[in-house]
A and B are shown apart, each in its own frame.
Chain A
Amino acid sequence: MDVLFNQLFSGLSMASILLIIALGLAIIYGSMGVINLAHGELVMLGAYATWALQHFFGFSILLALPFVFVAVGAVGWLIEKIIVQRLYSRPLDTILATWGIGIILQQIVRIAIGPESRFVSGPEILRGNIQIGNVYMSNYRIFVIVLSIAILGATWAIMTRTEFGTKLRAVIQNRSISECYGIESERIYSLTFAYGAGLAGVAGALITPLFSTIPTMGTGLVVNAFLVVIVGGLGSLFGTALAAVLIGQATALFSIVMNDTLGRIAVLICIILLIRLRPRGLFPGKTRN
């Protein structure tokens, strides 16, 4: 029983990180229809930025977080400005271009920093565990869960409660009409892409104490995050959140019953079946067509 709870708890913390990655993807896909296959590499950049800040300046993860958010967000902004913006009329090509960007980022890091894994230590303040019965919950993992909920809330507020969010939703509904009303859709897109990328960076920073930091770490994460986005239903923030928890927990549970790899495969099969039954996800957006 305790094994089960311990697994569920660690599943929940992984789900939280998955949620932050998936949120970024969902925002980028939901607003401009771009499947950003470089998203995993943005997570990787976030992880390396955290490592660099700690290694060279002695920053703890908590202190590094805002810097990483801004830095990776800036990288995302550049990617959007230079490449993605030219491809909005060709959705399949954005997949390819972002895939290529992913390779480029991976290679740059491999050449500049090296292929071996890097270690980042967790923050001092959050060392230690909380013990309930025989279930150990590390403070750091609790922090990750709380932070991801906060990010979900903040994103929701930005989308629904700010002028930027209103403009973004207008552009999503109808780009050309919005432009007629003076909304600069290009700027909105750039900022949205940058925000999504910044979230990937934050996820990368948070994952460093739990995962080894290597140039290829993004690939597996991004596939999982995509599945979360698809299962959650496009354009639904809370659908994304629920799907992240479901997939995180299902992976954790299957892993107890079978082993890690088979667990992941079983989850994947379930997801494919689910997509067959509900092609538009669990919580599809409410618009017609």
Chain B
Amino acid sequence: MTKKLKYDLVAYALFAAVIFLAVPAYLNFEGYELNTFARYLSLGIVSLALALSWGTAGILNLGQAATFGMGSYAMAMHLKLKSSQGLPDFMSWNNVEELPWFWVPFHSLSFTLLAGLLIPASIGGIIAIFMFRARISGVFVAVITLAFLVAFQLLVIEQQGYTGGQNGLTGLAPLTLLGWTVDIYSLSFYYLIAACLFVAIMIGIYLVHSKFGLILRAIREDADRTRFFGYNVASYETAAFCISAALAGWSGMLYTLVLEFASPTYMSVSFSLAIVIWCAVGGRESIIAAAIGAIVVNLLEVRLSDVFVEGWNLILGVTFVLIVMFMPRGLHGVVAGANDWIARRKDSRVSNAKHSNLKSRPEIKGGQ
């Protein structure tokens, strides 16, 4: 087992203890507070999804909010259909006579759950194939995904009869999962969301530590060189993009459950920027840190925006710029840096004591 994997698993266990035990106890198992915290947890997934594509593979996807929105709308439409007798209300207001064919299968929960993952993954996949086959990389990926996000949000707002337009989808029924009607202010709901987050983190950790993750890191550093070791770089990038999109969709589904509505603001440029900020604050190179980043920033936002009503976004913007400039690896970088420093000090003390003549060794080796 590598050292990095060991660190990740220890962090995972600690983080799980905090989320599963400490947080509910601290919040006195109080329904409203738990629900608010569940919202942060659901956002942790979209943040780690970005860490997977951006931190690992170097694909800066500024349109992550679009795939998040797809998952969110998939879940919302299922619950909307469940709550309506016949046609959803907003459709009749917009003179849509009949439920359009593409919403019909959303009556089924299993279809919805699959669609919430697969639709973002396949739409993400189409964009990814386009970009990566043409060997577009770096800043251009950022601009193209951003442009896609803008267009997608416009489309959703424009197609009022099918999507609820500016108002989004509201008046949703509660979810019924295997006969259990979900109460979003209950402890079990909190644990459901927490479990989802930890499964997602596990998937992320697995991917990062698999050979697939290693190849992604190689591609981030030098795509051409990786290609000359026989890897199909475009398909690796596409896979990373799709997996990230599916995780974002999952996050969107949970977010809709927590808030009980879906809104086109989930697909706005500023929401996408927020995702990037969470990921950057936590540390894009670590799956766990990115999830923690989302939780911390959202927690602070809720606590501080009462104090600085108008100024919160300003504070967030300034903090973000400072982090990009002076702490590009985020909170994770600070922790990892401290860790390395301690390890180095321990190392040098041991080696100084044991073999003071070790310094000449590389030259001896070199001359062999």
Is there a contact between chains A and B in the complex with CB atoms less than 8 Å apart?
yes
Within residues 201 to 227 of chain A, which ones have a CB less than 8 A from any CB in chain B? 219-220, 223, 226-227
Contact assessment for B314 and A95 in the assembled complex, using a CB-CB cutoff below 8 Å: no
Contact assessment for B310 and A93 in the assembled complex, using a CB-CB cutoff below 8 Å: no
Assess A110 versus B310: contact at CB under 8 Å? Given A35-B143, A223-B150.
Answer: yes
Contact assessment for B324 and A279 in the assembled complex, using a CB-CB cutoff below 8 Å: no
Contact assessment for A96 and B143 in the assembled complex, using a CB-CB cutoff below 8 Å: no
Residues of A within 8 A of B91 (CB): none
A230 beta carbon closer than 8 Å to chain B: yes
Within residues 238 to 293 of chain B, which ones have a CB less than 8 A from any CB in chain A? 269-270, 273, 276, 280
Binds B, one of A65-73, A122-130, A260-268: A260-268
B177 beta carbon closer than 8 Å to chain A: no
B225 beta carbon closer than 8 Å to chain A: no
Contact assessment for A226 and B147 in the assembled complex, using a CB-CB cutoff below 8 Å: yes
Query: How many residues of chain A have a CB within 8 Å of chain B?
Result: 38
B142 beta carbon closer than 8 Å to chain A: yes
Contact assessment for A279 and B139 in the assembled complex, using a CB-CB cutoff below 8 Å: no
Within residues 52 to 90 of chain A, which ones have a CB less than 8 A from any CB in chain B? 83, 86-87, 90
Within residues 208 to 255 of chain B, which ones have a CB less than 8 A from any CB in chain A? none
Residues of A within 8 A of B103 (CB): none
Assess A92 versus B136: contact at CB under 8 Å? Given A107-B317, A264-B154.
Answer: no
Contact assessment for A220 and B150 in the assembled complex, using a CB-CB cutoff below 8 Å: yes
Contact assessment for A230 and B140 in the assembled complex, using a CB-CB cutoff below 8 Å: yes
B134 beta carbon closer than 8 Å to chain A: yes
Interface core residue of A87, A110, A268 (most chain B CB under 10 Å): A268
Chain A 216-246 near chain B by CB (<8 Å), digits 1 or 0: 0001100100110010000000000000000
Residues of A within 8 A of B133 (CB): 276
Residues of A within 8 A of B324 (CB): 87, 93, 96-97, 100
Assess A111 versus B314: contact at CB under 8 Å? Given A92-B60, A219-B269, A265-B154.
Answer: yes
Name the contact of B139 in the complex, choosing from A35, A97, A108, A268 (C-beta under 8 A): A35
Q: How far is the CA of A261 from the CA of B264 in the complex (A)?
A: 15
B138 beta carbon closer than 8 Å to chain A: yes
B135 beta carbon closer than 8 Å to chain A: yes
B73 beta carbon closer than 8 Å to chain A: no
Contact assessment for A92 and B317 in the assembled complex, using a CB-CB cutoff below 8 Å: no
Chain A nearest Cβ from B155, distance in angstroms: 6
Contact assessment for A279 and B134 in the assembled complex, using a CB-CB cutoff below 8 Å: yes
A103 beta carbon closer than 8 Å to chain B: yes
Name the contact of B134 in the complex, choosing from A83, A93, A104, A275 (C-beta under 8 A): A275
Chain B nearest Cβ from A227, distance in angstroms: 6
> Which range contains the number of B residues in contact with the other chain?
35 or more
Contact assessment for A272 and B144 in the assembled complex, using a CB-CB cutoff below 8 Å: yes
Contact assessment for A104 and B142 in the assembled complex, using a CB-CB cutoff below 8 Å: no
Assess A272 versus B130: contact at CB under 8 Å? Given A219-B269, A265-B151.
Answer: yes
Residues of A within 8 A of B318 (CB): 100, 104
A8 beta carbon closer than 8 Å to chain B: no
A91 beta carbon closer than 8 Å to chain B: yes
A136 beta carbon closer than 8 Å to chain B: no
Residues of B within 8 A of A226 (CB): 143, 146-147
Contact assessment for B314 and A83 in the assembled complex, using a CB-CB cutoff below 8 Å: no
B321 beta carbon closer than 8 Å to chain A: yes
Contact assessment for B314 and A96 in the assembled complex, using a CB-CB cutoff below 8 Å: no
Within residues 120 to 140 of chain B, which ones have a CB less than 8 A from any CB in chain A? 127, 130, 133-136, 138-140
Contact assessment for A100 and B321 in the assembled complex, using a CB-CB cutoff below 8 Å: yes
Name the contact of A103 in the complex, choosing from B143, B280, B313 (C-beta under 8 A): B313
Assess A268 versus B151: contact at CB under 8 Å? Given A104-B318, A111-B311, A262-B158.
Answer: yes
Residues of A within 8 A of B151 (CB): 264-265, 268
Interface core residue of A90, A93, A220, A223 (most chain B CB under 10 Å): A223
A254 beta carbon closer than 8 Å to chain B: no
Within residues 110 to 139 of chain A, which ones have a CB less than 8 A from any CB in chain B? 110-111
Q: How far is the CA of A264 from the CA of B147 in the complex (A)?
A: 11
Assess A275 versus B150: contact at CB under 8 Å? Given A96-B324, A100-B324, A107-B317.
Answer: no
Chain A nearest Cβ from B309, distance in angstroms: 10
Residues of B within 8 A of A33 (CB): 139
Contact assessment for A223 and B147 in the assembled complex, using a CB-CB cutoff below 8 Å: yes
Chain B nearest Cβ from A289, distance in angstroms: 11
Contact assessment for A230 and B135 in the assembled complex, using a CB-CB cutoff below 8 Å: no
Q: How far is the CA of A125 from the CA of B173 in the complex (A)?
A: 60
Q: Which residue of B has the minimal Cβ distance to A271? A: B147
Chain A nearest Cβ from B107, distance in angstroms: 29
A159 beta carbon closer than 8 Å to chain B: no
A101 beta carbon closer than 8 Å to chain B: yes
Q: How far is the CA of A220 from the CA of B328 in the complex (A)?
A: 28
Would you give 20 A-B contacts (Cβ < 8 Å), ordered by A?
Answer: A35-B139, A90-B328, A91-B138, A92-B139, A95-B62, A96-B276, A96-B280, A100-B324, A104-B314, A104-B321, A107-B310, A107-B313, A110-B310, A111-B314, A223-B146, A261-B155, A268-B148, A275-B130, A275-B144, A276-B130
